Structure 1
Amino acid sequence: MASIGATWQHAAAADDRGRLPVAGVTTVYKRNSHADVIFGKILEGFDQQGGPGPGLRLASLYIDQLPKSGLGRELAKKHNVPIFDTIEGAVTVGGKGIPVAGVLSVGEHGDYPYTEKTHQHKYPRRRFFDEIAATYKKHDKVVPLFNDKHLAWNFKDARHMYDTATRMKIPFMAGSSVPVAWRQPTLSLPMGCEVQAAIGIGYGGEEAYGFHALEGMQCMLERRKGGETGVASVQAVKGDAIWRSEKDGWWSHDLMESALAVQDGFQRDGWEQRFAKKSTLFLIEYRDGLKAVMAMANGVTHQFGFAAQLKGEAKPAACVLALEETQPFGHFGYLVKAIEHMVHTGKPAYPVERTLLTTGILDRAMHSLADGYKPYETPELEIAYKAVEWPFATGKVGDVPKTT
């Protein structure tokens, strides 16, 4: 199997604006869908109004659930992007080889079933991956592949995708836009710091938004001393079990309040009652002994955040992981910049192992919720990797990425 090299670089030449062609594979393409806020920035600039954009050009599309009319068809027609009825067609742009420099797989939104017991959304991310990988194998060529959000709804599929990409030497990247979003106040844990306790903050549904909260926490914790070594156990709790977890030493009131206090509009009075009524906690023990909590703090906040107590520091470090909540949802622009880097260099901007790990944590947490808050040992999450330096959004929320 061929790997990234001169053949790929020369075959996918940039156009006169320095843009490399990519194929887009998605579930649906409608306004404000992930396809819109990712592909739309390639088609119409980071502001999605014709301004400067990434050094990428959308060369083809596959849309799994494609209506007879709608945004996907409209933009494809406007920008002369062919829509194919197979994933292989999109990756090959209807030809006999692979002329694109990368593939973006966006399996989010659309009419797909949920698992009956755990209520996990069965988006076809593994199917998309397998068909893309099969096309690479058939045409004896690989190009960088980005997978939006968690790798798959279950860890078995995620591990298959990761192992296949490793075996085929596919440059592979995945995950949330939260790690590259704005941080208020600016916070990046020192590489090699000693973390004594940590809390991630999220809101919304446990799976769809819990993944984002996990990624926001993990992009911080992977920088700790010794690097990432994986997770030993996962448990999800609600209601009275939240307070039992505090008594059992999983988290402290002071650190939780520090994590919440930086949130916009945080109301300190009575937050504990609102927190206990609507929140879900993921209790995560890492293999190196660190205990962390990811709190879906519904009823208390509508933002993502993070707080940690570092050894030798008097006060916790805390920040909001801030998103642009209106069009064009500018945090996705910084995700597209990371994808652009991988497509142009053949090297992922940050480790896909981060998302393999968060996918596994989330899968176990969803089963814990369904099984009456059962704790799970997680030998499958012995996933070790080293953090890298990659920039996150700076300036004020909504500032578009700089182009080169």
Structure 2
Amino acid sequence: MPARPIPPLSRRQFAGAIAGAAALPWLTSCSAPRTSTGMRASAGAAGAKGTPKRKRVALITTIVRKFSHGQHFVDRLLEGYGWHGRHHTSPLDLVSLYVEQFPENDVSRERARRHGVKLFPSIAEALTLGGSQLAVDGVLIIGEHGDYPRDAKGQPLYPRFRFFKDVVRTFERVGRAVPVFQDKHFAMDWREAQETYRDAQRLGFPLMAGSSLPVTWRIPEVEIPLGTPLVESVGVGYGHHGYYDIHTIETAQCMSERRAGGEVGVKSVRALKNEAVWQLLGERESTRRLCFAALNRSQTLAPAPGYTFAEPSIAHLRRVSPFAVAYVFEHHDGFRTTTFHFNGTVEPFHRDTASLNDFTYAGLTQRGDIVSTLMFLPMPPTMCTLASFFSPLVRHIETMMLTGKTAWPIERNYLTTGMTLHAVDSLLGGGATLATPELRIPYQPTPGPHFWNA
């Protein structure tokens, strides 16, 4: 059956979607229930006369240099960012920093001096401002970039889990917990990821995590209605295996979870490389159609000889990206997710030789319709100066810190962390199909939309 593209939202439908988003707990208050451990999970305190205090946050990071993730978050909290045609000043006060590495191009010290933010030598001190009690209303953990060794899988050993555990130990010591945001996926080790999730559940504090891909602009502005009878998803992207895969996986998962019945978890993972990728595309028609639909949304796919707008094909992909990787995820309800990385003409990946530099999605419905979009991620310094795709992520973080409520279930990120780590295991294991009973992680998505509609 030929694909019938799902039409874009009408003005009325789009307005309804925005109204639905406004009904979400973006700027509402929340109570602070006591957890089963007796710890108070707090969303902040009120002033002496009942007027709300500005919420204070600590940021824990590996490094703050130009274009590092740490810099993107620090500067938005301190100096604001453009938001729907205005300059938005954060409602949060960044009062403390823990920075682990200080290279020659460090900017954290300058930011701290200029804005009066305290730099502390330990995570515990950053959370207590050097005292004995928790002195902040929220914590951001940005464990990305910096000079760290790699493990045998090629994954950089960013200290996200170590940072998280230091935060948790401080919560336990003072008997109070506050909302936490963790950039990207939980950890580079599945057991550490499991402990991260269990700690948040045990202590009862809101935990939000993930990539900026689910919340950046979409071209076109597509949000799959909840309950859509999707049967298959494809995400297409690029990047280093072991830590960039999370972006493509979350590109797909933030759409897949909206299918009828919600998410039920992943039962198996299989990785394919190079020739096996072309074989998969040749044999599986639905996956090939979705892959090409996604590629037709790309703005950076390497052109055919002569710089022409040739239709995507297996032959063209083989020519511009002889190095390719695919991950196939089979879900417990029969749903299938496949992600592709077309990394170009050299291995390991290098941005200058990649066959594309963006992330796209395509999904197939039960009746044969295809919905597709580009997750627009203009990377600095070649495509932008400010990496503005971090702005909607910071906006969601601000809302969580104000309300104590997360924009999406943390189970999404628990699942995508597991999908990423097990996919890398399969890749390094020669493409073996791995059963993943531990990824039976069911959840229901929140209505949204969560992405930045311009």
Could you state the TM-score of these two structures normalised by the residue count of structure 2?
Answer: 0.81
What is the CA distance between 1:11 and its match in structure 2?
A: 7.4
Instruction: Give yes or no for contact 2:65–2:105 (8 Å, CA) kept in 1.
Output: no
Please list the CA deviations of residues 90-136 of structure 1 after superposition, one character each: whole Å capped at 9, or x if unmatched. 011112211211000000001111112x1112111111111101101
Q: Partners of 1:120 and 1:312 in 2: how far apart? A: 40
Shift of the alpha carbon at 1:248?
5.2
Q: Which moved more, 1:171-180 or 1:272-281?
A: 272-281
User: How far apart are 1:294 and its partner, in Å?
Assistant: 0.5
Supply the distance in 2 between the matched residues of 1:14 and 1:375 (Cα, whole angstroms).
58
User: Is contact 1:26-1:106 (8 Å) kept?
Assistant: yes
> Shift of the alpha carbon at 1:195?
1.0
Select 2:372's aligned residue among 309, 315, 318: 318
Match runs of 1:122-201 below 5 Å: 122-201=157-236
Structure 1 unaligned regions, length at least 5: 396-404
CA distance in 2, matches of 1:302, 1:142: 39
Is 1:202–1:209's contact at 8 Å kept on the other side of the alignment?
no
Structure 2 counterpart SS, 1:252: helix
- Residue 71 in structure 1 maps to residue 114 in structure 2: no
Counterpart of 1:392, as a letter, is: F
Give per-residue Cα distances to partners, 1:171-224, cap 9 Å, x unaligned. Answer: 111100110001101111110111122100111112332111111111001111
User: Which one-letter code corresponds to 2:378 in the other structure?
Assistant: E
CA distance in 1, matches of 2:402, 2:337: 36
Query: CA, structure 1 residues 361+251, in 2 after alignment: closer, same or farther (shift >3 Å)?
Result: farther
Q: Distance in 1 between matches of 2:88 and 2:213?
A: 22
Counterpart selection for 1:89 from 125, 134, 138: 125
CA distance in 1, matches of 2:411, 2:50: 29
Q: Given the alignment, which residue of 356, 360, 363 partners 1:301?
A: 356
How many angstroms does 1:236 deviate by? 1.1
Deviation sequence 1:314-350 (CA, Å, 0-9, x none): x411000001322211111100011011100111111
Distance 1:338 1:13, change over 3 A: farther
110, 135, 139: which one aligns with 1:99: 135
Q: Indicate whether 1:393 and 2:452 are aligned.
A: yes
Q: 1:163 to 1:248 in 2, by over 3 A?
A: farther
Match of 1:401 in 2: none
1:210 aligned to 233, 238, 245, which one?
Answer: 245
Q: 1:265 to 1:153 in 2, by over 3 A?
A: closer
The answer (yes or no) to whether the contact 1:251–1:292 under 8 Å persists in 2 is no
Alignment equivalent of 1:278, drawn from 320, 323, 326: 323
Q: How many Å separate the matches in 2 of 1:14 and 1:282? A: 53
Counting aligned pairs with the same residue, the percent is 35
Render the CA deviation track for 1:151-187: whole Å, top value 9, x for unaligned. Answer: 0011110110100110000111110011000110111
Whole-angstrom distance in 1 between the partners of 2:221 and 2:159? 36
Cα offset, 1:246, TM superposition: 3.2
**Bigger radius of gyration, 1 or 2?**
2
Deviates more, 1:127-136 or 1:294-303: 294-303
Aligned amino acid, residue 366 of structure 2:
K
CA displacement at 1:69 relative to structure 2: 7.1
Conserved 8 A contact 1:279-1:297: yes
Q: Which residue of 2 aligns with 1:351?
A: 409
Shift of 1:312: 2.8
Query: What one-letter code is carried by the residue in structure 1 that aligns with 2:367?
Result: G
SS in 1 for 2:260: coil
Shift of the 13–354 alpha-carbon distance from structure 1 to 2, 3 Å rule, reads farther
SS of equivalent residue, structure 2 residue 45 = helix
Partner of 1:36: 71
Is the contact made by 2:227 and 2:260 (CA closer than 8 Å) also made in structure 1?
A: yes
Residue aligning to 1:292: 337
CA offsets, 1:221-272, max 9 Å, x none? Answer: 1111111110011111111111332355385322211110111154435523
Q: 1:15 to 1:106 in 2, by over 3 A?
A: farther
CA distance in 1, matches of 2:139, 2:396: 14
Per-residue CA deviation, residues 266-324 of structure 1 (Å, 9 max, x unaligned), is: 443552323661221011111111112101122342100100111235x4110000013
Contact 1:60 1:90 in 2 (8 A): yes
Q: Give the SS at the match of 1:360.
A: helix
Q: Secondary structure at the match of 2:41?
A: coil
- CA distance in 2 between partners of 1:42 and 1:99 (Å): 18
Match of 1:53 among 81, 85, 89: 89
SS at structure 2 position matched to 1:57: strand
Alignment partners' CA distance in 1, 2:94 and 2:115: 9
For residues 330 and 15 of structure 1, the distance between their equivalents in structure 2, rounded to whole angstroms, comes to 32
What is the number of residues matched between the two proteins?
A: 390
Local SS of the residue matching 1:277: coil
How high is the TM-score relative to the length of structure 1? 0.91
Deviations 1:48-76 (A, max 9, x none): 9x942221111100011134772011101
Alpha-carbon offset, residue 4 of structure 1: 2.5
Alignment of 1:225-236 (within 5 A): 225-236=260-271
Is residue 2:254 matched to residue 1:219? yes
Q: Write out the 4+ residue segments of structure 1 that deviate beyond 6 Å after TM superposition.
A: 11-16
1:243 aligns with 2:278: yes
Question: What secondary structure sits across from 2:176 in the alignment?
Answer: coil
Q: 1:21 aligns with which of 40, 52, 56?
A: 56
Paired with 2:377 and 2:405, the residues of 1 have a C-alpha distance of 26
User: Is 1:376–2:413 an aligned residue pair?
Assistant: no
- Given that 2:96 and 2:118 are in contact with CA atoms closer than 8 Å, whether structure 1 keeps it comes out as yes
* Structure 1 counterpart of 2:149, from 109, 113, 116: 113
3-state SS of the aligned residue for 2:46? Answer: helix
